[in-house]
């Protein structure tokens, strides 16, 4: 399973309406995190679970959902997290 597929599967716990993941790892070739195998990703996710949450709380939900992936497969993650009403 690819890292992006594993991310999508893990993010399923947030009941997303939409998920877009872009792998920017090639832009960071030679970077310490890239050398150790961790990728650089941009995530745009829309979920009703973010309602009433501040930005940091939304990011924490994403980090918690990604769990172990954040320790090895993901070195850097840019997150845009919105509710369906904010689309």
**pLDDT tens digit string along 12-70?**
999 999 999 999 887 656 655 455 557 889 999 999 999 999 999 999 999 999 999 99
Spatial CB neighbours of 75, under 8 Å, sequence gap ≥ 6: 28, 31, 33, 34, 36, 38, 39, 40
Alpha helices by DSSP H, 1-87: 3-11, 32-35, 55-66
Q: What is the pLDDT of residue 87?
A: 74
pTM for the whole structure: 0.87
How many residues make up the chain in this entry?
87
Nearest Cα residue to 65 out of 86, 79, 51: 79
Residue 25 has a pLDDT of 82
Q: What is the pLDDT of residue 75?
A: 85
**Which band of pLDDT confidence, cut at 50, 70 and 90, is reported for residue 78?**
very high
Nearest-5° angle of CA 76, CA 86, CA 17?
A: 70
All structural domains of the chain: 3-86 (3.30.300.90)
């Amino acid at each position: 399973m690819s890292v992006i597929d594993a991310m999508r599967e893990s993010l399923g716990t947030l009941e997303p309406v939409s998920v877009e993941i872009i792998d920017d790892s090639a832009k960071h070739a030679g970077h310490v995190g890239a050398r150790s195998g961790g990728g650089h990703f941009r995530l745009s996710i829309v979920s009703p679970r973010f309602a009433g949450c501040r930005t940091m709380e939304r990011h924490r939900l994403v980090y918690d959902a990604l769990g172990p992936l954040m320790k090895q497969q993901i070195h850097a993650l840019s997150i845009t997290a919105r509710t369906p009403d904010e689309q």
